Every structure is written in structure tokens, then in C-alpha cells.
Structure 1
Amino acid sequence: MNNAFYHKLVDMYAGDELSEELVAEMDTAASTDPNLRLEMDSLRRTVRVLKSLDDPELSDVCAQRILRKILDDAQVPADMGDMAAARQYRLFR
């Protein structure tokens, strides 16, 4: 595979979400691509640091504000009614 493909998988590599076989392929590719190696190592360190932190305690007001921001940014119509349906990825517009 080409390195462009591996660059697309760096986030999954960092989160330990890839098979051992694919990790080995990425490590091999990174041995000849310093940019890929830097991206893989940097993001993996970042993910590990974030996972080591305690979960933040959010007030209900803060959680609602975050949810509202996510919904506003997603441009979900306010009249959707059912929150479960509003959270689903829309395949058609």
C-alpha cells in the first residue's frame, strides 16, 4: 500500500484500533517516511496523555451548552423532535 493510505490511518493507529498486521505495515512504511513516523508517534503520545487524564465533571448547564453547539454546528433542524433521530447521521438531504 502507499503511504497516503497509512497517513489516513494515523488516528486509528494512535488509538490502538488497528490489527497487529496493519500496525506492522505502518511501522515498516514509517521507517522510510519520517513525516509518517512523526505523525504516528506524536498523535499516539497525545492520545495516551488524554486517556490518562481524569474525565472532566461537567455541570448540566455545561453539558447542554456543548450539546446545543454540536447540534447547531451539524445544522440539525430544531423541529426534529426525537433526539435519537437527531443524533443519527443523515445519509440523504
Structure 2
Amino acid sequence: MSAYLAEKGLLGRGGKPVSAANLRRHFVRWRIYHVWAEHRVGTDDPAPAEVARVCGERGITAQYNKPVTPTLIAGERAEFERRWQTLTHQPTPDTP
């Protein structure tokens, strides 16, 4: 993944490829975001407890293999929503 990102011009500090350790710490958040985004399709404010429950069912754990908690989800809500808006934003055609 690090080499692929470097080929695409996405580099870490000092212009070097992003380290595996850096990528690893973000991977869990991406998996949790995916579950949150599935719920976001149906509601403007996914319930943190429900997202945490689904993460548990899928075997998604937080750092050090701890369960994903509603508190963790709630703490990520603003970032998840920002990402959601960025990824789902559809530009509107210019009208004359």
C-alpha cells in the first residue's frame, strides 16, 4: 500500500513513502467508517451503539483488540461526517 500511494504522489513526512505503521493505525478507522457509512445511507445521524454493535458482529476491534465502543464512534462522528460529505458530494451543474 505504501509503494502504491507513493506512486500516486501521496507521501509522508520528508517526502518519503508513508510507513506501514502509519497506515496500520488508520486501517481500523477506515473499517469503522465503512460500517458508519452503511448506516449513514439511511439516516443523517447513525446511532453510535448500533454502529459499535455491527462492528462487533464483523469482528472489527479497536486498538489492542479492544471492542469498538459507542464512545469511540461518537468521538469520530465529525470526521466521519466530513469524509461522508467529501466522498458523496455530487457537483451540481451550472445553470445559466
TM-score normalised by the shorter chain: which range applies? Answer: under 0.3
| Structure showing greater Rg | 1
Higher helix share: 1
Instruction: Give the TM-score of the pair, scaled to structure 2.
Output: 0.27
Instruction: Give the TM-score of the pair, scaled to structure 1.
Output: 0.27
